[in-house]
Structure 1
Amino acid sequence: MITGGATATVFYNLIQRHPTLDLPVIDYDLALLFTPMLMLGISIGVAFNVIFPEWMLTVLLIILFVGISIKSFFKGVETWKKETIMKKEAKKNSRIDDAAHYIQTEEPAKEDTKEPRKKVSIVENIRWKELGYLFAIWIMILALEIGKNYATTCSEAYWALNLIQVPIAVGMSSYQAVRLYKGQRVIASKGDQQTHWRVWQLILFCGCGTLAGTIAGLLGLGGGFILAPLFLGIGIPPQVASATSILAMAFSASMAAVEYYLLKRFPVRYALYLVAVATAASLVGQHLVRKMVAVLGRASVIIFILTFTLSVSAVLLGGVGVSHMIQKIEHKEYMGFGNLCMYKVKN
């Protein structure tokens, strides 16, 4: 479901532009820094999913969603207040300009007509080099995960295929981090508010990407839910934060889906139905949200929608998890940790 929705949204965002700058709405430099480590974390998280008991996953899921919801809500309130101040200042400046124009011309001021931004084709709107890097990392890590399916669990070949993923992901994120540190690349979506990157910041962000991927793989999420609030926290506009995190989510969620399929923990028919529903809902939702932001003139709407979605997810998924826990307790089923090396794929 997450894979289908994220993929559909990515295709929609590929033709969209930055809300204020002449740039794509997806920040490919930001995605290239986080996504490789996110995909590495997915592999770790899926393995942990086999080990951790269901009750622990449920508790972690509730804590995660509630925590992110609260953080996103306060960020939304902060953004709303800033937008209100900007609207008041813009209205005040508009009145001053109109009055000055009236005094000079003795005629009523005419509304300023802004030239529409030049439309850019989808080919020009995509940063093909950065996107190619992401696809290359995705293919390599996915190939290693598929290779693990043909190796005996916990054998030397199995661990070798796991360890090879580390230099691939770390190498690409490090390459991008070095370019940001040296100023060869910038997070252009921030506009004039550029960050002078320090080594510890870049290491921390790469670590956050790995942690987000681990949590996403562990709980069966896409990772974008975790990255979006992080992007907002470093000053990325809500539209860009949403689009970029969803691009990362598309890569990570699709990888997680394949890994769960290989573990035979993936109901294909049910998943295909959810993919179809999520794809349609994502396209409609993206269109409606953009219209809402345009009408209200407030990008903070995106943050509040994210907060609402996470809150509802925490209640629904938490409720289902608690229900399963009660059933297992009643049937006196084993609820302890699993053994990865003893795990057998069900046919």
Structure 2
Amino acid sequence: MERGFIFSLLAVFSVISLSIYITTHHYNHNNRHPFLPSPSPPTSLISKSDDRIWPKLELNWRIVMATIIGFLGSAFGTVGGVGGGGIFVPMLTLIVGFDTKSAAALSKCMIMGASTSSVWYNLRVPHPCREVPILDYDLALLFQPMLMLGITLGVALSVVFPYWLITVLTILLFSGTSSRSFLKAIEMWKEETIMKKEMERPREPTVNSRGELLIDTYEPLIPKEEKTPMQIFLFNLRWEKLMALIVVWAAFLALQIIKASSFLNYTFDFQESNQLVNDLVACSTSYWVITIIQFPVALAVFGHECVKLYKESKKRKSMGNPESVCEAAIDWTGPHLTFCAFCGILGGTVGGLLGSGGGFILGPLLLEIGVMPQVASATATFVMMFSSSLSVVEFYLLKRFPIPHALYLMAVSVTAGFWGQFFIRKLVAVLKRASIIVFILSAVIFTSALTMGVIGIDKSMRMTHNHEFMGFLEFCSSQ
């Protein structure tokens, strides 16, 4: 079912993109329609889109509303493992008054703060049913390089795709993933209800062959040793795999800094030869070399993890061991590994295209391959901590967000991420229903679909009313 869902999204994405490209290409060469001008937009439109609107940080109803929405969005977003970028960007633009690019940058700061505090909390939490870390490092190493590679591609395509097409993709993707997650949550809720009834059913005493009364108390013969928070923390922290994730993060960061610095070395004058300067920077040899280098870096880490999972899975099968290699309840065969690579790149591309961290794909995907909700939430948040921090550094180098607002909103999200994890984990433990996490995941994605869909439709209608360019832009002239 997950394959059909992903392939249907890709099919819709490809058909819409191809049809619009053909349409705009045809009109650009034959009819100079006001809605489809030449590929290079007017300089007035470029300067408007680059304007930075940074309101002052002062106590008023706007900052109070932003604090409340930011706190709730961070708390529920990190619990669901999706971050909450689909809520933060509309809040920062509509309520606080930031421009779209600055709102996206501040949204990444909030996601980084919330995910970091959530990871710190999860490192002090034991696995609910196994003697393994609650963070699945194998899945993180499998998806992180593909996700980062996809985000790089998505960010590059975001300046080429028309705004209305991005809005359509947002509505389709978020509606599909939220509905699928909601159905998954209902299915889990029913299973949990059956299990609770079985556990509450009184056990009948049994009699052995000698007539002795036997009572099954389901108590282990050897009591389970209780660990201190520090012991749990050290057990969850696997330095070797953590360093591998940090190395991948640092490699992508270095490449992005080199690419960003090449842009910062030029002074863009939108009144004189803007097209020429952009072409020289965006499509130069160094630009393509830096972009292409990211592929072998990501594929090397992904390939190493694939070989490890495949060999371990084959070894356990030959020994008759039914236990899965990691939390995912699938066989690590060639087709499954290829499918994971495809989903990682697709999730990152869509995340970069929509301005999110990829959690809207990764969270539901982990549930689809059989990862239990607590581990899926912790692992998805763990991966998002790396991807969001990478974006924050890039935005900081480009001076894309005001420091005071970033520090304040990060403080709100850090607090919300920690307490959100605390209360929801306690609620799951008391009610014994992990499906609550999946319901929260579905609700956050659905709310993001509503907010981003409304804003996207409104902006697309205003662009149509103002006779602005509504087609694809050329890649080089748009970077």
TM-score, structure 1 length as denominator? 0.88
Residue 6 of structure 1: aligned partner: 115
User: What aligned pairs does 1:1-347 form with structure 2 within 5 A after superposition?
Assistant: 1-92=110-201, 95-96=202-203, 99-100=205-206, 112=219, 115=224, 117-119=226-228, 120-151=231-262, 152-183=281-312, 187-189=325-327, 195-261=330-396, 266=401, 269-343=404-478
Rounded Cα–Cα distance in structure 1 between residues aligned with 2:462 and 2:305: 48
Amino acid at match of 1:161: I
**How far did residue 293 of structure 1 move?**
0.1
Structure 1 unaligned regions, length at least 5: none
- Which stretch of structure 1 is more off in the superposition, 123-132 or 36-45? 123-132
Which string of whole-angstrom CA distances, capped at 9 and with x for unpartnered residues, describes residues 16-50 of structure 1? 22110111111001111111111111111111111
Which string of whole-angstrom CA distances, capped at 9 and with x for unpartnered residues, describes residues 218-255 of structure 1? 11111122111111111111000111111111111222
- Which stretch of structure 1 is more off in the superposition, 45-54 or 83-92? 83-92
Rounded Cα–Cα distance in structure 1 between residues aligned with 2:418 and 2:394: 26
Amino acid at match of 2:237: I
2:255/2:290 contact within 8 Å kept: yes
Rounded Cα–Cα distance in structure 2 between residues aligned with 1:339 and 1:263: 22
Amino acid at match of 1:96: R
**How far did residue 306 of structure 1 move?**
0.6
Rounded Cα–Cα distance in structure 2 between residues aligned with 1:59 and 1:272: 33
1:41/1:213 contact within 8 Å kept: yes
Change in CA separation of 1:270 and 1:179 when aligned onto 2, cut-off 3 Å: same
Structure 2 unaligned regions, length at least 5: 1-109, 263-280, 316-323
Change in CA separation of 1:199 and 1:104 when aligned onto 2, cut-off 3 Å: same
**How far did residue 82 of structure 1 move?**
1.6
1:66/1:311 contact within 8 Å kept: yes
**How far did residue 313 of structure 1 move?**
1.3
Following TM superposition, the consecutive aligned residue runs of length 4 or more in structure 1 with deviations greater than 6 angstroms are 108-111
Change in CA separation of 1:196 and 1:243 when aligned onto 2, cut-off 3 Å: same
Change in CA separation of 1:132 and 1:288 when aligned onto 2, cut-off 3 Å: same
Which string of whole-angstrom CA distances, capped at 9 and with x for unpartnered residues, describes residues 154-206 of structure 1? 1100100011110111100110000110117963335xx5x432111101101
**How far did residue 260 of structure 1 move?**
4.5
Rounded Cα–Cα distance in structure 2 between residues aligned with 1:43 and 1:28: 22
Rounded Cα–Cα distance in structure 1 between residues aligned with 2:398 and 2:249: 19
**How far did residue 109 of structure 1 move?**
9.1
RMSD (Å), alpha carbons: 2.5
Which string of whole-angstrom CA distances, capped at 9 and with x for unpartnered residues, describes residues 137-158 of structure 1? 0100111011112332111001
Which string of whole-angstrom CA distances, capped at 9 and with x for unpartnered residues, describes residues 88-134 of structure 1? 22233xx226x349x9569x998958646433242332111111111
- Which stretch of structure 1 is more off in the superposition, 316-325 or 290-299? 316-325
**How far did residue 336 of structure 1 move?**
2.6
Figure out how many residues of one structure are paired with residues of the other and give that number.
336
Rounded Cα–Cα distance in structure 1 between residues aligned with 2:444 and 2:335: 32
Amino acid at match of 1:73: F
- Which stretch of structure 1 is more off in the superposition, 202-211 or 321-330? 321-330
TM-score, structure 2 length as denominator? 0.65
Rounded Cα–Cα distance in structure 1 between residues aligned with 2:232 and 2:430: 25
2:249/2:386 contact within 8 Å kept: yes
Amino acid at match of 1:148: K
Rounded Cα–Cα distance in structure 2 between residues aligned with 1:224 and 1:22: 26
Amino acid at match of 1:327: R
Rounded Cα–Cα distance in structure 2 between residues aligned with 1:139 and 1:222: 17
**How far did residue 333 of structure 1 move?**
2.5
Say which SS state the counterpart of residue 142 (structure 2) adopts: helix
Larger CA Rg, structure 1 vs 2: 2
